[in-house]
Structure 1
Amino acid sequence: MSELYKIQNFISIEPAQLIEKVQDFKSEGYRLGQACCTKVAEGFELTYSFDKDHVLTNLRLVIPEEVEIMSITGVYWAAFIYENEMQDLFGVKFKHMALNYGGHFFKVSQPTPWNPKD
């Protein structure tokens, strides 16, 4: 495998910087690769990954569980899939999601199974 495909960058940002950074990536020609969530002690760690010229650049931010984060679907519409997944499986709260399934994107046996509320 070419060394070109192994390049990754991680940029830690504050939640308030998310939309500005995503808009910058869009204007520079990046494509959205994926978005994911991990439960951490501070709440949720969100990672949005973007590709340009075979270089993966990841925006990483941590938010408390009770914080509502701005959706990036106004910039990358297809992010509705990832954000609905994070909402259903972890309980991440998004503002202004372009297509919000309201917690019913997945059929799950319990609400937020990857972040159960005991």
Structure 2
Amino acid sequence: FHDEGFRLVQICCSREGEGFELTYSFDKNLVMSHLRIPANQNTPVPSISRIYLASFVYENEIADLFGIPFAGIAVDYKGTFIRTSVPHPFGTPQIEVVKRRPDETGGKA
């Protein structure tokens, strides 16, 4: 994309089945092109920050929020770019079952 004159518009991460999908959006002459790749929390995704420096912002954000590792980020915050109360809040959901006694519901169903 870079060699053809495209500029990076955004990188988005979304859940896809048991894993994730990264969408890279590029623009050239007001025409958008998208590249979608599967990702998971166990396999590092090659960084594009050596080609598109601004991508380090998206890559650090995705690493911090989703837990998806990137290999070779030009500016790597190593998990401190976005501070959250829990690690990787948008990553693989952790389900916690809480059992309550009937009297704890205040009589409501």
Q: TM-score range by the shorter chain?
A: 0.7 to 0.9
Which ranges of 4 or more aligned residues in structure 1 deviate by more than 6 Å? none
Whole-angstrom CA distance in 2 between matches of 1:61 and 1:107: 26
Root mean square deviation of aligned Cα:
1.2
Does the CA contact (< 8 Å) of 1:31 and 1:51 recur in 2?
yes
Whole-angstrom CA distance in 2 between matches of 1:91 and 1:117: 11
Whole-angstrom CA distance in 2 between matches of 1:111 and 1:64: 16
Structure-2 residue corresponding to 1:7: none
Higher RCO (CA-CA < 8 Å; seq separation 6+): 1
Structure whose alpha-carbon radius of gyration is higher: 2
Structure-2 residue corresponding to 1:81: 57
Whole-angstrom CA distance in 1 between matches of 2:19 and 2:41: 5
Structure 1 unmatched runs, 5+:
1-24
Structure-2 residue corresponding to 1:30: 6
The one-letter code matched in structure 1 to 2:47 is S
TM-score by length of 2: 0.81
Cα deviations by residue, 1:45-75 (Å, 9 ceiling, x for unpaired): 0000000010110000112331111000011
Whole-angstrom CA distance in 2 between matches of 1:100 and 1:69: 13
Q: Using the aligned pairs only, state the percent identity.
A: 46
The one-letter code matched in structure 2 to 1:96 is G
Cα deviations by residue, 1:59-110 (Å, 9 ceiling, x for unpaired): 0011233111100001101000000010000001111000010111011111
Q: Secondary structure at the match of 1:60?
A: strand
Q: Which stretch shifts more, 36-45 or 46-55?
A: 36-45
Structure-2 residue corresponding to 1:100: 76
